[in-house]
DNA sequence: TCCTTGCTTTGAATCGATTCAATATTGATC
DNA sequence: GATCAATATTGAATCGATTCAAAGCAAGGA
């Protein structure tokens, strides 16, 4: 099965037509006389021609018809992290519909990622700025291709980005629980700053470098204060969105003299881990403890009890992001999209 | 940010060097005098040159340095199905290490997939033959690129493929439970044939078109018969590997007069769903019912109790597949890899 | 017969880089 | 200052297609 050394030119010559005609047979068949077309096609088959080489074609066209999704994370991140997964599922949906290819571009190592971004055959990038967003943006800039940043922790209006309304979303989440009657809250946070885990104070929140997490915290506070709950009363524990740190956080929070009846988790991932932990301690959800997540990943609907959460409109985000990249039509600077409360079984009024 | 109309030739001219030298500056910098190199680099920056265009480069090189993973499934399948996810995570690991790009090529619609395969910019394909494997192989053949089929339900030795030893793996799983003392078994099967769900008889198993499922069933039978348990005694329920059909299967199996104490699930996905269902019915795992899965997806290790399963060596499979595709070195026809029993908390001796 | 019109086909230019044999330059040595 | 080896640079060919202005051709009308 020697890889075809047969070129379009060979087919053209063998069929006794010009290269231009041969090209048309494959690209605009309607323009060439049926008789000729069939003859060329037949010749091509006889020669074992594999069809116009993509590289030759795209060199001419200048378009790859594919977009890259990039993150400063190990490649497996795309398949492990629920949020990334949900987002990618949505993106692939959109790509599918528009016949656009999807390439995964990622590396935990900055230098490697740089190389990967430089050598990805794509027309543009969607950046998952979970971590090191600015670096990612910077790396991508050099490539001089359209790109759009998702969940970027940076307010630079020169970078086109789409993110969700963390402030308002968090407020709605906290309000939901407060209205159910909860008064003792605790927050399990996603990363606020690099290289830190554990309980965090008020000042640290305000100075947190990751604005996604910061805004969620501020949203919680804002809503709770309307119910007379001061921010001092709400312990916040910073996790790295994985099992060990979330469990450490729960150990910490539930060793307090008055453990919380309501947990505000900054991601569904954290919330799901928390529910597992609580269950293993025979604390029932939602009877003993209510848990609310953030993101709206599909897994939240598949566990028992279902996870109450603030759902991101993944489909819409994906739609806009892909369009923006493909049309090189950066949206009006920073776009902020709302999230909606989805009430399932993991939240209820506290016990009497 | 007008996309660079600046070519290497422009940079070369502006810097007053030949195009060859300019090319060397980017590709073999050590060969050009430092002074010149810096000058060229500087000129490039001044002009806003985005670096050598990939299309031009690859046209020359003939290599894309990327592989495609294809499946006859909706694109989101790669992110939803635990098995696909685990496999892709492993593949991306390998790609990462060798600096190879990864493109996802998929569509539920055969015609669309055809087009996607035709236009994917890759050096070869890894085929996930969960469904419609032959079609997938056929489509890919036309592209005349190296490919390797994973989990192919077809014994055609002309197609290079890698699969796991389903027969032996299933036997080990059943033996494990039988040795613990179980005598009442039930099987929750993955698809045996198209368009069928529900309880299946012995003859149907033997005639099943999907050899993966068939061999697992045969493996179970084989091992159990050594313990004096005939195949007639073991109910088999065919699911489509999703929540509704698995739950229907459990409803069916546990409405029997003597419900099973051990469940043989043909995928971890099924096993995990089963554990959830049992728990919701307050049947404890493993005290009331033992459950064993198949695949060894990471999720199995993250739930409580951990899932006992037959683990596929994803890393090894990925490694071999990627190498085979990249080197165009098809392995010795069909490769079959063993699976290993991983005992966790979901299996134990039955209650007295 | 000549001209028009509409449809096919041709052939050369082009896309943006890499490659390599040939040539130019440099430095060291006698 | 001449020679030689080592190192740098050049320039043209090449990869495999697409594109489009121009040319060819057949049919119909004047």
In this predicted structure, what is the pLDDT of residue A332?
Answer: 59
| % of chain A with per-residue pLDDT over 70 | 97
* Strand C nucleotides where any atom sits below 7 Å of a protein CB: 7-21
A303 CB neighbours in chain B (<8 A) are 276
- Name the phi and psi angles at A302, rounded to 5: -105, -5
In this predicted structure, what is the pLDDT of residue B1?
Answer: 31
The residue with greater pLDDT, B19 or A131, is B19
Compute the average pLDDT of residues B194-216: 93
Task: Indicate if CB(B56) is under 7 A from strand C.
Answer: yes
Q: Is the pLDDT of residue A78 over 70?
A: yes
Compute the average pLDDT of residues B10-34: 89
Q: Is the pLDDT of residue B305 over 50?
A: yes
pLDDT band at residue B332 using 50, 70 and 90 as cut-offs = low
Q: Are B116 and A99 in contact (CB < 8 Å)?
A: yes
Between A and B, how many residue pairs show a Cβ–Cβ distance under 8 A? 149
In this predicted structure, what is the pLDDT of residue A331?
Answer: 61
Cα-based distances in Å from A3 to B126, B190, B296, B321: 17, 37, 37, 19
Q: Is the pLDDT of residue B80 over 50?
A: yes
- Mapped onto helix, strand or coil, the DSSP state of residue B195 is coil
How far in angstroms lies nucleotide C20's C1' from the CA of residue B123? 26
In this predicted structure, what is the pLDDT of residue A55?
Answer: 84
Question: What's the mean pLDDT when you consider all of chain B?
Answer: 91
Q: Looking at chain A from residue 180 to 219, which residues have their Cβ under 8 Å from any Cβ of chain B?
A: none
- pLDDT, tens digit (0-9, with 9 covering 90-100), for A83-103: 999 999 999 989 888 878 899
In this predicted structure, what is the pLDDT of residue B163?
Answer: 93
pLDDT band at residue A144 using 50, 70 and 90 as cut-offs = confident
How far in angstroms lies nucleotide D15's C1' from the CA of residue A97? 33
Report whether A260 contacts A289 (CB < 8 A).
yes
Q: What does the radius of gyration of chain A's CA atoms come to, in whole angstroms?
A: 26
In this predicted structure, what is the pLDDT of residue B114?
Answer: 86
How far, in Å, CA of B156 to CA of B149, rounded?
11
In this predicted structure, what is the pLDDT of residue B174?
Answer: 98
Window from A49-63, B31-45, B236-250 with minimum mean pLDDT: A49-63
Q: Are B105 and A101 in contact (CB < 8 Å)?
A: yes
How far, in Å, CA of B330 to CA of A328, rounded?
41
Q: Is the pLDDT of residue B5 over 80?
A: no
Task: Indicate if CB(B101) is under 7 A from strand C.
Answer: no
Mutation target for B interface from A63, A102, A306: give the one with most B CBs within 10 A.
A102
A182, A186, A192, A196: CA torsion to nearest 10: 180
Give residue A1's Cα distance to chain centre. 41
Q: Does B303 touch chain A (CB under 8 A)?
A: yes
Question: What's the mean pLDDT when you consider all of chain A?
Answer: 91
Residues 6+ apart with CB under 8 A from A60: none
Q: Characterize B29-42 residue by residue with b for buried, 16 or more Cβ atoms within 10 angstroms of its Cβ, and e for exposed.
A: eeebeeebbebbbe
- pLDDT, tens digit (0-9, with 9 covering 90-100), for B224-278: 999 999 999 999 999 999 999 999 999 999 999 999 999 999 999 999 999 999 9
- pLDDT, tens digit (0-9, with 9 covering 90-100), for B89-100: 999 989 888 878
How far, in Å, CA of B102 to CA of A348, rounded?
44
How far, in Å, CA of B44 to CA of B66, rounded?
28
Q: Is the pLDDT of residue B57 over 70?
A: yes
Q: Is the pLDDT of residue B331 over 70?
A: no
Question: Long-range contacts of range B76-81, CB-CB < 8 Å, 24 or more positions apart?
Answer: B76/A89, B76/A90, B76/A92, B76/A93, B77/B106, B78/A79, B78/A88, B78/A92, B78/B104, B78/B106, B79/A78, B79/A79, B79/A85, B79/A86, B79/A88, B79/A89, B79/A92, B80/A85, B80/A89, B80/A298, B81/B130, B81/B241, B81/B269
Burial class (CB in 10 A: 0-12, 13-18, 19+), B227: middle
Q: Is the pLDDT of residue A266 over 80?
A: yes
Task: Indicate if CB(A143) is under 7 A from strand D.
Answer: no
C-alpha closest to that of B169 among B340, B344, B342: B340
- pLDDT, tens digit (0-9, with 9 covering 90-100), for B107-160: 888 888 888 888 888 989 999 998 888 889 998 988 888 999 999 887 788 888
In this predicted structure, what is the pLDDT of residue B2?
Answer: 35
How far in angstroms lies nucleotide D26's C1' from the CA of residue A47? 32
SS (H, E, C) A55-117: HHHHHHHCCCCEEEEEECCCCCHHHHCHHHHHHHHHHHHHHHHHCCEEEEEECCCHHHHHHHH
How far in angstroms lies nucleotide D17's C1' from the CA of residue B9? 21
In this predicted structure, what is the pLDDT of residue A1?
Answer: 32
B78 CB neighbours in chain A (<8 A) are 79, 88, 92
The residue with greater pLDDT, B289 or A135, is B289
Compute the average pLDDT of residues A26-49: 90
Q: Are B101 and A95 in contact (CB < 8 Å)?
A: no
Compute the average pLDDT of residues A256-283: 95
B96 CB neighbours in chain A (<8 A) are 74-75, 106-107, 112
**DSSP letters for B78-89:** HHH-HHHHHHHH
Window from A167-171, B177-181, B334-338, B345-349 with minimum mean pLDDT: B334-338
In this predicted structure, what is the pLDDT of residue A3?
Answer: 41
B8-15 vs B19-27: helix axis angle to the nearest 10?
110
Q: Is the pLDDT of residue B330 over 70?
A: no
C-alpha closest to that of A9 among A52, A61, A39: A52
Q: Say how many C-beta atoms besides its own lie within 10 A of residue A81's C-beta.
A: 21
Compute the average pLDDT of residues A234-248: 95
pTM: 0.85
Q: Does B36 touch chain A (CB under 8 A)?
A: no
């Amino acid at each position: 099965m020697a890889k075809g050394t047969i070129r379009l030119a060979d087919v053209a010559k063998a069929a006794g037509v010009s290269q231009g005609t041969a090209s048309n047979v494959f690209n605009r068949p309607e323009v060439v006389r049926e008789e000729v077309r069939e003859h060329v096609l037949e010749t091509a088959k006889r020669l074992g021609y594999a069809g116009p080489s993509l590289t030759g074609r795209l060199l001419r066209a200048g378009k790859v018809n594919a977009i890259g999704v990039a993150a400063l994370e190990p490649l497996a991140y795309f398949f492990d992290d629920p949020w990334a997964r949900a987002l990618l599922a949505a993106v692939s949906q959109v790509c599918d519909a528009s016949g656009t290819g999807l390439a995964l571009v990622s590396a935990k190592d900055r230098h490697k990622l740089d190389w990967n971004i430089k050598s990805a055959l794509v027309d543009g990038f969607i950046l998952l700025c979970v971590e090191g967003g600015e670096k990612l943006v910077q790396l991508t800039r050099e490539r001089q291709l359209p790109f759009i940043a998702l969940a970027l922790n940076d307010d630079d209006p020169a970078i086109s980005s789409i993110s969700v309304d963390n402030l308002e979303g968090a407020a709605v989440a906290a309000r939901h629980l407060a209205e159910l009657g909860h008064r003792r809250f605790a927050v399990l946070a996603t990363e606020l700053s690099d290289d830190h885990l554990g309980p965090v104070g008020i000042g640290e929140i305000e100075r947190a470098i990751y604005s996604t997490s910061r805004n969620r915290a501020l949203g919680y506070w804002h809503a709770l204060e309307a119910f007379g709950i001061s921010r001092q009363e709400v312990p916040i524990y910073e996790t790295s969105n994985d099992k060990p740190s979330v469990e450490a956080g729960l150990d910490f929070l539930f060793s307090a003299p008055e453990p919380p009846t309501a947990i505000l988790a900054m991601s569904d991932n954290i919330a799901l881990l928390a529910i597992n932990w609580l269950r293993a301690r025979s604390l029932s959800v939602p009877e003993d403890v209510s848990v609310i997540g953030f993101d709206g990943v599909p897994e939240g609907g598949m566990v028992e009890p279902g996870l109450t959460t603030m759902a991101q409109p993944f489909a819409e985000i994906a739609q806009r992001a892909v369009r923006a990249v493909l049309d090189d039509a950066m949206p009006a600077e920073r776009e902020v999209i709302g999230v909606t409360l989805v009430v399932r079984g993991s939240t209820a009024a506290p016990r009497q």
